[in-house]
Chain A
């Protein structure tokens, strides 16, 4: 009996010590779920959360990562569906960061709320990614976190005069067999992006793929398009993934290949990339994508969620973290970010691909239906 009393006393003492330690009692736990690579989870956990908690000491930010690719977004949506089906008044998730496809799924399932009317940073967005995602009107429901873009990297030591378009690339590849490399569609999304760009270039209905409507009749000429891609692949080295393409570029095994721009610059900054390698976006363009902030319909702390999104979208934070630390293209206009950036950082991000190139050649991914059909067409007509 006595022992229990002692234990209870000690516990009370420890707990009161722990509470006394905190200057402010924690009142708000802001839970966010993040789809994407580990670097995105790190971004929130180690950079944004501490800064945000400095401004709002009563808030603790909890970050949960669900993994890369649409699968990561899928998991978040499933979590929200569980919350909805449970019939609870307050859901446990306050903010989610999802791919475009995730935002579309969430919107169609009625899982997220309109909030950007109250977001002043929304006025700084210059691309229309905050309005249209995969051909679906998402205006009001999403705010981009950053933009990522695919481009073709090349080694100027071997490639003096890089091709400027897909058409020129085909010519180039025939002259230099095996020196262009990409990773197909099952080993990472830079290859998928290249294939999408190929379809954009060849098809007469690119506009439909980007803005809808979805109809199989626009896919009539695909057998021909993919047959040509299969022919093209004969002159191409297949790499083992997004990182595989960068590795092979580094070792000089291939001279050209599609890469994610942010990954490319991150490797460059970490000294893992041959600094002479450059990038360009071939005409008529290659896809890129934003990641979107969404607020669940019945989030427990929507006010703080909004504050956090506002904070991360502010020009200063965009400059310091999104651009400088993580090498993403900002979610808001460059003119707003530029004053907060060192000149060399801004120049290195736009050294090869200029902002006008991004506006002209930075295409979105196609509508989900077309996107899936493109992948399956590749499996059917190119791989088989």
Chain B
């Protein structure tokens, strides 16, 4: 009896949260998928997807590669910083690595564009210091974009990884140290494996934030190929073509969803393992 009354009450309690989720997330999602199958005159069509594959296949591959590269570099740097801060308490680094977290994407994009330009701040500095003239600029190329992405995304990932490293029971680390393990070995054999889920979270969040970023690729990225987001904006702004834009959106959902499913499975297995 008690149980039966409880459950509708519980449902009522989560209803506000659920309806916000439904209204702001599920509804637009369904609508995006829906409208990706309609042309501008309102007829059902696969034409949008055909156009996407005709025009934007390279951009999609480029976006995935770019994002994966960003995730890879971010993880590497994040783990190095976290490991260092796990063993040594260096206040300066501890504050500095968080800095990019507080700078809006738009500002980063503009700053990087000027910093990395052929006659930009970086090259002017190098020319003054070493007297090398006419260095190539990397803004407006994929290397510049990668550099900017890594700069922006690293602090967030590091924050998660460092948190996980610090939360580990120090007994494991001390035991390993007593038995004579080097710090490198401790990082690879103890810290990283035991923080697997957190690193995974850092990876997925970095991936999602990178692939959905518009301002930075728009300002720093190369003119071609373009990230998916730029193509979506272009389609909407210049063609008022929501069909193709939504098809591109659906494709990026699918890419991200693949990751999410993998992550959920992994988490479930992990939880199950701990329980058993």
Do A70 and B238 contact each other (CB < 8 Å), given the known contacts A183-B223, A238-B223, A380-B55? yes
Is A96 positioned at the interface, with any CB of B under 8 Å from its CB?
A: no
B174 to chain A, nearest CB (A): 51
Is B185 positioned at the interface, with any CB of A under 8 Å from its CB?
A: no
A367 CA / B241 CA spacing, docked (Å):
17
Which A residues fall within an 8 A CB radius of B? 69-71, 74, 183-187, 192, 238-241, 244, 247-248, 251-253, 372, 375-376, 379-380, 383-384
B220 touches A240 (CB 8 A): yes
Is B234 positioned at the interface, with any CB of A under 8 Å from its CB?
A: yes
Do A248 and B223 contact each other (CB < 8 Å), given the known contacts A69-B238, A71-B237, A384-B55? no
B10 to chain A, nearest CB (A): 38
Task: For the complex of A and B, list the 3 residue pairs with the smallest distance between their C-beta atoms, beginning with the closest.
Answer: A238-B223, A251-B119, A184-B223
A179 to chain B, nearest CB (A): 12
Residue of B nearest to A237 (CB): B140
Is B186 positioned at the interface, with any CB of A under 8 Å from its CB?
A: no
Number of A-B pairs whose CB atoms are under 8 Å?
Answer: 68
Residue of A nearest to B114 (CB): A247
A66 to chain B, nearest CB (A): 12
A74 to chain B, nearest CB (A): 6
- Contacting residue for A253 out of B54, B55, B118, B234, CB 8 A: B118
| Residues of B in contact, count (CB < 8 Å) | 30
Do A184 and B140 contact each other (CB < 8 Å), given the known contacts A244-B113, A253-B117, A253-B118? no
A247 touches B238 (CB 8 A): no
Tell me which residues across on chain B come within 8 A of A185, comparing CB atoms: 234, 238
B237 touches A187 (CB 8 A): no
Is B137 positioned at the interface, with any CB of A under 8 Å from its CB?
A: yes
Tell me which residues across on chain B come within 8 A of A252, comparing CB atoms: 119
A183 CA / B140 CA spacing, docked (Å):
10
A184 CA / B224 CA spacing, docked (Å):
9
B63 to chain A, nearest CB (A): 14
A240 touches B223 (CB 8 A): yes
Which B residues fall within an 8 A CB radius of A? 54-55, 58, 113-114, 117-120, 137, 139-140, 218-226, 230-231, 233-234, 236-240
Tell me which residues across on chain B come within 8 A of A372, comparing CB atoms: 238-239
Tell me which residues across on chain A come within 8 A of B117, comparing CB atoms: 247-248, 251, 253
- Contacting residue for B120 out of A69, A183, A251, A376, CB 8 A: A251
Tell me which residues across on chain A come within 8 A of B120, comparing CB atoms: 251
A266 to chain B, nearest CB (A): 17
Tell me which residues across on chain A come within 8 A of B236, comparing CB atoms: 71
A186 touches B226 (CB 8 A): yes
B55 touches A70 (CB 8 A): no
A54 CA / B176 CA spacing, docked (Å):
80
- Contacting residue for B238 out of A240, A244, A375, CB 8 A: A375
A238 touches B140 (CB 8 A): yes
Tell me which residues across on chain A come within 8 A of B237, comparing CB atoms: 69-71
Could you give 11 example pairs across A and B, Cβ below 8 Å? Answer: A186-B231, A187-B223, A238-B224, A239-B140, A241-B219, A247-B113, A247-B117, A248-B118, A251-B118, A253-B117, A384-B55
Tell me which residues across on chain B come within 8 A of A239, comparing CB atoms: 140, 223
A251 CA / B118 CA spacing, docked (Å):
9
B219 touches A240 (CB 8 A): yes
A375 touches B239 (CB 8 A): yes
A158 to chain B, nearest CB (A): 13
A253 CA / B119 CA spacing, docked (Å):
6
A186 CA / B205 CA spacing, docked (Å):
27
Do A241 and B137 contact each other (CB < 8 Å), given the known contacts A70-B240, A184-B224, A247-B117? no
Tell me which residues across on chain B come within 8 A of A183, comparing CB atoms: 223
Residue of B nearest to A105 (CB): B240
A74 CA / B48 CA spacing, docked (Å):
21
A239 CA / B237 CA spacing, docked (Å):
20
A194 to chain B, nearest CB (A): 13
